[in-house]
Chain A
Amino acid sequence: MTVPLVKRRRWAMPAWLGAVAVLSGACTERLLTPVNCPELCPGGQIIVFDTVLTPIVGSDSSFSGYVTAAQATGFLVSNNLPAADARGFVQFIRRNDSLFVQDTLRSYTIDSARINLTVDARDTLQPGIVLLLYKLPPTADSSSTFDDLTAEFTPESFLDSLEVPDTLLTGRVTALFSGETLARIALTPADSGVLRVGVALTAPAATGVRLLSVRAGTGAPSFQTYVHADIADTTLQRQTITRIPSFNSYVTAVPFPQPTPTTLLVGGAPSVRALIRFPWPLVLKDTAEIIRATLELVPVAPIEGVPNVNSTVVVQGILVDLGAKSPLIPQVTAANTFQVPTSAVLSFEVRSLVRLWQGNAGRPPALFVWLSPEASSFSVPVFGSTADPVLQPRLRVEYVRPYQFVLP
């Protein structure tokens, strides 16, 4: 029996279309249902555990000598600031008495010169800040003390005053020397072509600024000399000689505090860092999922500094425990930026750090604490150590244990 073609196809198309329509809907589903526990909670509930760890007694200490004032990215200048009365010192690279123009060493006459400094931080609420520049003799060098420098800050050595505009938060300030003032900055034969500048500060009240140093890269102090070269081609006569510091640093009236056996200190110059070692229970090392970890450091005294100039305490883990020389784990940090004065407990969210302590290949359960910007901060926080159970550091950890998936 032959079935007409038209009749055979009558059901085929709608049937297949229907099947395809149903199957195509198989890609979507929506199963989310609000429920109440424990009635409809399989596996029970996620239970959060809260524990407070204190450092291993006697294993927390501060170490000095990491970054010197000359190695810092900034240098400090202040006027009778209780935290640190500081003076700056910049020694520029030697400027020769001739320069190359068209492959020929040519003499020049100076038209003008300028000294550029960059303000990195200042008390934004303190008006009337003026930087005072002094030309220092060749005897001033890296071994000069605060008293040595201030003795050289005389009216005879005065170069210029740089007003820091009240509206300037960060940025460059410039001292320009031309005409009559050009003689102030003239280099003597004793200078051997090297300009040495001392920096002081004056303001209606005690305050301080942080200036960028040569280590900061962009914004480093610079000494520019605009000269008229001895060459016939007038288009080549005007030249600029730019010099950056070969050395710059700062000195303070009173040395920064040094570590003691009973406290944890960070900051200062040369900088001090603190190493804190914690006990690490097996449950945290092997099975717990840490959801929050907070390090709390308790200041033993109010932290001083320049008001409205922030400093940051940074916490980092270590790759291996080699004491003071333990290599830091890069890129994983916790930080707390504080304002002075403060006596508040400084808290740091260190979950990303303590998670590295977990597992068989976990890093040592220890934290290094340091102050940023290192060796160029007016503040030197001093925290309690395990020597004082009340003020000792605390590591507060919240975690959950493995969920009991097989429990229906």
Chain B
Amino acid sequence: MIGRRLAGLALGLLVLPASLAAQSSIFGVRGPGFPGRPYSAAAMGAGGSSGLFDPQSQLSPASLATLKGGTATFTVLADYRSVETPAGSANVRSYRFPNTYITAPLRHGQYAFGVGATTYLDRDFTLAVRDSIVLRDSVRAYTDTTVSRGGLSDLQLAFAIRTIPRTTVGLAVHFITGTNRLAARRAFDDTSYATVLQTAQTSTTGFGLAIGATRVLSNKLTLAAFVRKDFTANVNIDSVAFGGATTIGADYGLPWTVAAGGLFAVTPFLEVSAQGVYRTWSSANESLTNLGAPGAKNSLELSLGGELTSRARRATQFPLRVGVRYGTLPFLIGEGPVVQPSEFSVSVGTGARFAKQHGAIEVSLERVWRRASGSDISETGWLLYTGLNIRP
């Protein structure tokens, strides 16, 4: 019965990736997108610091170590941001589904598997530019609008081996795929000039492998490590207006990802976690600069968080999660002197189970500040994660 339900959920999962995306950002505009975070709503409450240990997060396949039963996880992200650029400011919002994951233990818990989809890179934005040019000896004002929808989804097939005492080893295969629908529009104030509207669609594919491990060192301390290699992203453009699917040399390298973290049970009521994730996005730098982008640098994400429960026996009922996170963003910004943006966030979250522990809702709220030193571009936002877990 459980197998059939999981199979049904897995089938539903297959139709989801096209709509998956993480939060958008102005700092994803000058690269292939804004990197997503493959964490559950519960992990985001702790700033993502427990991602290497959370069985509902998809950072490491070894996080399936603590999986107790079949679970389907679905996360909704509501994103409210204020963006400041030299051209003005805007309040923007979006809703996304950044983490969908179906997991189950196999052979009496000796193994576990997971099938899921997360956002790899998000490229949702709508940009407006107001400017003018001289045509026929007159100044003609115009408004440019560049619209992008889509990005890359990361489809993961994870497998965890839990037969080694106190140790779990996880392996994962990642299929990176996605489309990006693009439109560029220029509307002149002078209606003698027709509005320019050009559209195109790019499709990207990639592949990755990952291995991770968790080791329970003591009743209080668990450590985790993780390595992942993603290979080249192959980009095709299928121009609607001008015909033909073409490889245009826009391929770029995907990064190595190295992560490590620790989970420390300070008391039966309090757990503290810390995590660092390093991605070698500089592998995409040469390709991006050749295409005219400012480029890319390696990114580092550091997070620290904790979870406080009031009752050790029912730790899942209204725990308090808090976390902080700092990270550098991989895709550079600016013309001439380019700078690497960074972000800092604080988060808080909680959750509760219902329906005889078959269902759970996790809610986390994150306040994030993003900026690029030396530029006038910044962004602040509220990110509300709502996760729904179902255990058949």
Q: Give A contacts to B, CB under 8 Å.
A: 3, 8, 10-12, 15, 18-19, 22-23, 25-46, 48, 50, 287, 289-292, 349, 351, 396, 398, 400, 402-408
Contacts of A39 in B (CB 8 A): 86, 333-335, 375, 377
Do B129 and A41 have beta carbons less than 8 Å apart? yes
Across the interface, B194 reaches (CB within 8 A) one of A22, A32, A37, A290, namely A290
Stretch at the interface among B92-100, B153-161, B223-231, B254-262: B92-100
Do A46 and B144 have beta carbons less than 8 Å apart? yes
CA distance A34 to B241 in the complex (A): 26
Closest A residue to B83 by beta carbon equals A33
CB distance from B45 to the nearest CB of A (A): 16
Across the interface, B92 reaches (CB within 8 A) one of A32, A38, A43, A289, namely A32
Closest B residue to A25 by beta carbon equals B95
Do A33 and B86 have beta carbons less than 8 Å apart? no
Do A291 and B386 have beta carbons less than 8 Å apart? no
B265 interface hit (Cβ, 8 Å): no
CA distance A396 to B356 in the complex (A): 75
CA distance A160 to B163 in the complex (A): 119
CA distance A30 to B94 in the complex (A): 6
Instruction: Give me 13 other A-B pairs in contact (C-beta within 8 A), A33-B126, A40-B87 excluded.
Output: A8-B355, A11-B352, A12-B354, A28-B95, A34-B85, A41-B146, A44-B292, A45-B144, A291-B193, A396-B136, A400-B198, A407-B291, A407-B293
Given A11-B354, A38-B335, A290-B194, are A33 and B95 neighbors across the interface (CB < 8 Å)?
no
CA distance A403 to B334 in the complex (A): 20
B297 interface hit (Cβ, 8 Å): no
Stretch at the interface among B22-30, B214-222, B274-282: B22-30
Do B86 and A42 have beta carbons less than 8 Å apart? no
Closest A residue to B385 by beta carbon equals A22
CA distance A408 to B292 in the complex (A): 7
Contacts of B85 in A (CB 8 A): 33-36, 40
Do B93 and A29 have beta carbons less than 8 Å apart? yes
16 A-B pairs in the complex with CB atoms less than 8 angstroms apart? A3-B356, A10-B354, A11-B354, A15-B359, A22-B384, A23-B76, A26-B97, A31-B124, A31-B126, A32-B145, A33-B126, A39-B335, A46-B186, A405-B198, A406-B250, A407-B293
Closest B residue to A286 by beta carbon equals B242
Contacts of B248 in A (CB 8 A): 406
Do B76 and A36 have beta carbons less than 8 Å apart? no
Do B196 and A289 have beta carbons less than 8 Å apart? yes
Kindly identify, within residues 330 to 365 of chain B, every residue whose CB is under 8 Å from any CB belonging to chain A.
331, 333-335, 352-356, 359, 361, 363
CA distance A403 to B95 in the complex (A): 29
CB distance from B334 to the nearest CB of A (A): 6
CB distance from B18 to the nearest CB of A (A): 14
Across the interface, A8 reaches (CB within 8 A) one of B31, B144, B356, namely B356
Across the interface, A22 reaches (CB within 8 A) one of B78, B184, B198, namely B78
Contacts of B9 in A (CB 8 A): none
Do A408 and B30 have beta carbons less than 8 Å apart? yes
CB distance from A38 to the nearest CB of B (A): 5
B2 interface hit (Cβ, 8 Å): no
Do A34 and B87 have beta carbons less than 8 Å apart? yes
Contacts of B131 in A (CB 8 A): 37
Do B78 and A398 have beta carbons less than 8 Å apart? no
Contacts of A25 in B (CB 8 A): 78, 95
